[in-house]
Structure 1
């Protein structure tokens, strides 16, 4: 890949698009959505602009693509925020108007299924932002997590280097959106144990690529990922979703990335803290700890034959757990295994 474009940043008071290119969950959980919109106005000083499919579940992929294209085309819109993820955005990106996106680059914020859009923008030469969700993070019960707010504010409004920090407490057991009264109190949090470092003691600096691991697997199957040559010298980031793929499935996906030749391209790999609790799989705290250990072992077992010299950092708060740190997608990151620090440039 050549040089990627950093879209201009919004300013407080600007209009920003709020879209649902994946799932129209704002229509099912309006109490969570409206809370997120209110915080977008009050915490960040931005005016959300909703599009026709934002609250519609099962909207036609072409209509969702039309909304996303329109958000980029509108000169009064200075950033685009996804409301939430889903599971079929892979059917939407083929309908985007790439000429419009290239001519009107804007900061795009999303994660999970939005990996499809992040990767699409990357391949168009546009830096985007992994993280941020109107429902999940701005609509967080009790209050938005301070680390999430600080990271999101820096990503929205600044262009400087920003140092990521391990969360002193974290959680992966959300309050149920089906019970509006639970918005009044914060979700369960557990003591943080810091990041876990593997590999050589060196400093790696490069451009980021990756996203949700399950979605990356779909993108590889659809042949929509960059080549190993295009990714050479980059830093891979990935995380797993609330579907909680097993350690064996994680091993196979990462191994498949190795067989495709991708793993050898990365000087460092940043792995998000795995989500280890869901409503249909309510694991105990010890079971969640064991789940995380099995996931880490699976990643290292898959990675080592293809890139034994990579710096690897586990349990970074960038995925489906709480808080969530925003990572520039296609932007710069520095992974310092000597000082054990990670910085990103927004």
Structure 2
């Protein structure tokens, strides 16, 4: 896997919306937060386009992604928000452009599809991490979310343990491997396509938002029958933001589904549609140890 270069104060970072259109007030609030980090946000040419539930035509969103990777002045690409739309772009990406111009690619939720595609066909480490409008631009954005960007300036391992997170053990054990994953809906959507996630010998991470317990059950079952849990080295469950009245059902489901797994499983990490929302690199080595109740993920930049 290719690790992108670290950032430095004053670096230009491209802001793109490869899925849904961002709220403009939240977008500008989020870009102000990036300026506070001593970064220079550069809006993509088509950032403010709208086409129904998409942030512009497929061609426009694709152009923005390509142009940001091609521009040598841009040192990182940060997504404005998720929503829907990245699966429509994946078949048309020029992966040779990304492979030849590696840089930080940062986002989550619907961006999961691009994480899978870019890692598969470009070999670039990417980041499942808070976005400009939907995280930094919100009034309830917590300082920890702001601070998670520091890993881009000063490469350090991400450590989650009982002292600094809400991590809970479902199934005991230890496992090491490259960490992959993202939003559970998008992971399930990839099955049967040329972008289907590979989990063998890896630690699988997933998170979800506003789905009832039966839908999460259906997606996990789909993943199971597709063989995605057969050779994993561990499972890490991030934030599962539940619709009203579903939290306890989901908790029970997760324990029932994974309690007899032959690999370690933890849940409750504040990664996903939550505050704080911690960013993690995908495609790097990670070690899960339930005896120490810890997840260690190596740095995502050099």
The answer to whether residue 134 in structure 2 is matched with residue 151 in structure 1 is no
1:267 counterpart (233, 249, 256): 233
Give the match's secondary structure for 1:313. strand
* Alpha-carbon distance in structure 2 between the residues aligned to 1:145 and 1:334: 27
- Specify the alignment match of 2:180 in structure 1: 209
* Alpha-carbon distance in structure 1 between the residues aligned to 2:162 and 2:114: 27
TM-score (norm 1): 0.80
- Specify the alignment match of 1:160 in structure 2: 156
2:203 counterpart (225, 231, 235): 235
1:165 is displaced (CA, Å) by 5.3
Compute the RMSD of aligned alpha carbons.
Answer: 1.9
1:318-339 superposed Cα distances (whole Å, 9 cap, x missing partner): 1111111111111122222111
Asked if structure 2 preserves the Cα contact closer than 8 Å seen for 1:151 and 1:325, the reply is: yes
* Alpha-carbon distance in structure 2 between the residues aligned to 1:324 and 1:163: 14
Give the match's secondary structure for 1:48. strand
2:119 counterpart (100, 118, 122): 122
1:238 is displaced (CA, Å) by 0.5
1:302 is displaced (CA, Å) by 3.9
Q: Specify every segment of 5 or more residues in structure 2 that has no aligned partner in the other structure, as ranges.
A: none
- Specify the alignment match of 2:92 in structure 1: 95
Give the match's secondary structure for 1:316. coil
1:160 is displaced (CA, Å) by 2.3
- Specify the alignment match of 1:45 in structure 2: 38
- Specify the alignment match of 2:168 in structure 1: 196
- Specify the alignment match of 1:31 in structure 2: 25
1:139-184 superposed Cα distances (whole Å, 9 cap, x missing partner): 1205x41221222212x1132213235698xxxxxxxxxxxxxxxx
1:13 counterpart (10, 15, 19): 10
Asked if structure 2 preserves the Cα contact closer than 8 Å seen for 1:62 and 1:95, the reply is: no
Asked if structure 2 preserves the Cα contact closer than 8 Å seen for 1:251 and 1:301, the reply is: no
Q: Indicate how the Cα distance of structure 1 residues 64 and 166 shifts in structure 2: closer, same or farther if over 3 A, else same.
A: farther
How does 1:170-181 map onto structure 2 within 5 Å? none
Asked if structure 1 preserves the Cα contact closer than 8 Å seen for 2:175 and 2:288, the reply is: yes
TM-score (norm 2): 0.91
Give the match's secondary structure for 1:84. coil
Q: Indicate how the Cα distance of structure 1 residues 223 and 167 shifts in structure 2: closer, same or farther if over 3 A, else same.
A: farther
1:75 counterpart (72, 77, 91): 72
* Alpha-carbon distance in structure 2 between the residues aligned to 1:67 and 1:233: 34
Asked if structure 1 preserves the Cα contact closer than 8 Å seen for 2:286 and 2:295, the reply is: yes
Q: Indicate how the Cα distance of structure 1 residues 166 and 31 shifts in structure 2: closer, same or farther if over 3 A, else same.
A: farther
1:303 is displaced (CA, Å) by 4.3
1:98-147 superposed Cα distances (whole Å, 9 cap, x missing partner): 110111111111000000111111102110000120012211205x4122
Q: Specify every segment of 5 or more residues in structure 1 that has no aligned partner in the other structure, as ranges.
A: 169-191, 278-282
* Alpha-carbon distance in structure 1 between the residues aligned to 2:225 and 2:217: 12
Q: In the comparison of the two structures, how many residue pairs are matched?
A: 294
Give the match's secondary structure for 2:124. coil
* Alpha-carbon distance in structure 2 between the residues aligned to 1:140 and 1:116: 24
1:197-228 superposed Cα distances (whole Å, 9 cap, x missing partner): 1112x33222111110111111114342144x
The answer to whether residue 21 in structure 2 is matched with residue 66 in structure 1 is no
